[in-house]
Amino acid sequence: MDMKVKYRLPSLPQQAVLDEQDQALITLIQTGLPLTPTPYADLAKQLNIDEKEVIQRIQDLNETKVIKRFGVVVRHHELGYRANAMTVWDIPDETVSELGLCMGQFDFVTLCYRRPRRLPDWPYNLFTMIHGKDRDDVLANIQLLAKRCDLDEIEHKVLFSTRRFKQRGAIYR
Amino acid sequence: MNLNTDNKLNEQQLNSIEKHLLNDFQHGFPLVSRPFKKIADEIGTSEEVVIETLNQLQNDGYVSRVGAVFRANSIGASTLAAMAIPEDELESIAAMVNEYSEVNHNYKREHQYNLWFVLTASDEHTLNAVLDDIEHRSGHDVMYLPMLEDFHIDLGFELDFEHDQKSAARI
């Protein structure tokens, strides 16, 4: 089968510069902190550095936005938010940033990304993940979003998930 | 998934310590020597109870982890991918996609593109190799949709334990 070269991008967004110690730390924390009284000291021991340095490095990763959020990562489905719909929008390039920023503020929107269009099959360039307790709840959230961000004229599709084959945290290395 | 998804969510069964732990520390987790002690002091319990409860929440599948959510593509490379698979092949192709350790989410969705998954790898080269392998093994094209811009400010997700209504907008 042919490489779908036209579907590949030449480059992904700029990556942060991380030294080996950062990378080793990320490898250790990507599956979660050890649930012990002194998690950072325990990580430090594994990395052969001291606790202060572990905390400082995590702080730096937070500040440089390599880490988006540091804390308890919950599973929506298990907590009663049984429905989620990837809602995709075909927004003119000139207004996509403005509308994306508007949508990204709502807490039921857990992802809000611009992605490339794949014409002619796929015209949608803004992807939002919308959670809710059930389908109607999700649809109501989408309506609220459309109203607040003035999206009435924007062509969109609501792709409910009907089955979860796999879900876990990303493993980078 | 090896999870009890249908039984226990009855939010009333969660006690107030569990609710605090689920809702109040999704971001800004303490970066101090004894973080669980700090949390315990804030919510009025002991360090031991906090650790035990988080362990339990993790075992029950309510909490996936206590730790970092990394910005997409800030380390390694990741992408969303979609395939349009005939219904009778979906099960086997979904299982095949799941085999890759690079795949961390994989959902069936209501659309002609019915299989949607997220791939994460150390670099773009590995990512491309996996995508090519999936295309080759499945005999179907993969639509590759990497993130170009992130508009979301991730402060976690406020769980509404009180009402059956939609969660409130933050703005």
pLDDT, one tens digit for every residue, chain A (173 residues): 334 433 444 444 455 678 889 989 998 888 899 999 999 999 999 999 999 999 999 999 998 888 888 999 988 888 888 888 999 999 999 999 999 999 999 888 988 999 999 999 999 999 999 988 999 999 999 999 999 999 999 999 999 989 989 887 666 55
Q: How confident is the model at residue B152 (pLDDT cuts 50, 70, 90)?
A: confident
Contact at 8 Å (CB) between B114 and A54?
no
The pLDDT value given to residue A82: 85
On whether residue B100 sits in a domain, the answer given is yes
**A49 and A95 in contact (C-beta within 8 Å)?**
no
Residues composing chain B: 171
pLDDT at position B125 over 70: yes
Between helix B35-43 and helix B16-24 the angle, nearest 10°, is: 120
Chain A nearest C-alpha distance from B54 (Å): 8
Q: Does the predicted TM-score (pTM) go above 0.80? A: no
Alpha-carbon distance of B156 to B28, in angstroms, equals: 10
CATH assignment of the domain containing B133: 3.30.70.3460
Residue with tokens 């949508």: A103
Q: Is the ipTM of this complex over 0.85?
A: no
> For chain B, what is the domain count?
2
Chain A residues within 8 A of B28 when measuring between CB atoms: 70-71
What whole-number distance in Å separates Cα of residue B36 and Cα of residue A35? Answer: 9
Beta pairing, strands A126-132 & B63-70: unpaired
Domain that holds residue B108: 77-145
Mean pLDDT of B15-29: 92
Q: What CATH number did the domain enclosing A30 receive?
A: 1.10.10
Q: Which of B118, B112, B107, B113 is nearest to B83 (CA)?
A: B113
Both A142 and A97 in one domain: the answer is yes
**Would you give the DSSP letter of residue B169?**
P
Tally of domains within chain A: 2
B50-61 residue pLDDT tens: 999 999 999 999
Per the listing, tokens 């089968």 go with A1
A149 CB neighbours in chain B (<8 A) are none
Judge if A57 and A106 occupy the same domain: no
Is B143 in contact with B80 (CB distance < 8 Å)? no
Same-domain check for residues B17 and B45: yes
- Contact with chain B for residue A100, Cβ under 8 A: yes
Question: Residues A127, A103: one domain?
Answer: yes
CATH number (domain holding residue A100): 3.30.70.3460
Q: Which residues of B touch A159 (CB under 8 A)?
A: 109-111, 113, 116
User: What integer pLDDT is reported at residue A151 of this predicted model?
Assistant: 95
> What pLDDT sits at residue B101?
93
Among B37, B56, B75, the strongest candidate for a mutation testing the A interface, having the largest count of A CBs within 10 A, is B75
* One-letter identity of residue A35: L
Backbone conformation region of residue B41, classed left if phi is above 0, alpha if psi is from -120 to 50, else beta: alpha
Residues 125-154 of A with CB under 8 A from B: 127, 131-133, 137, 140-141, 144, 148
Note whether A153 and A107 are same-domain residues. Answer: yes
Q: Which helix (H) or strand (E) holds B5?
A: none
Task: Name the residue with higher pLDDT: B124 or A98.
Answer: A98
Q: Which of residues 68-127 of B touch A (CB under 8 A)?
A: 68-80, 82, 94-95, 97-98, 101-111, 113, 116-118, 120-122, 124
Paired tokens of A114 = 């611009």
Q: Which of residues 22-61 of B touch A (CB under 8 A)?
A: 22, 25-29, 31-37, 47, 51, 54-55, 58, 60-61
Among residues A7, A38, A63, the one where a domain terminates is A63
Distance of CA B54 to the CA centre of its chain: 17
Residues B55, B82: one domain?
A: no
Nearest CB to A172 within list B64, B113, B122? B122
pLDDT of residue B171: 34
Q: What is the spatial distance between Cα B153 and Cα B166, in angstroms, rounded to a whole number?
A: 20
In-domain check, residue B125: yes
The DSSP element (H or E) to which B108 belongs, if any, is strand B103-109
Residue A34 has which token pair? 């050890």
Q: Is residue B168 part of a domain?
A: no
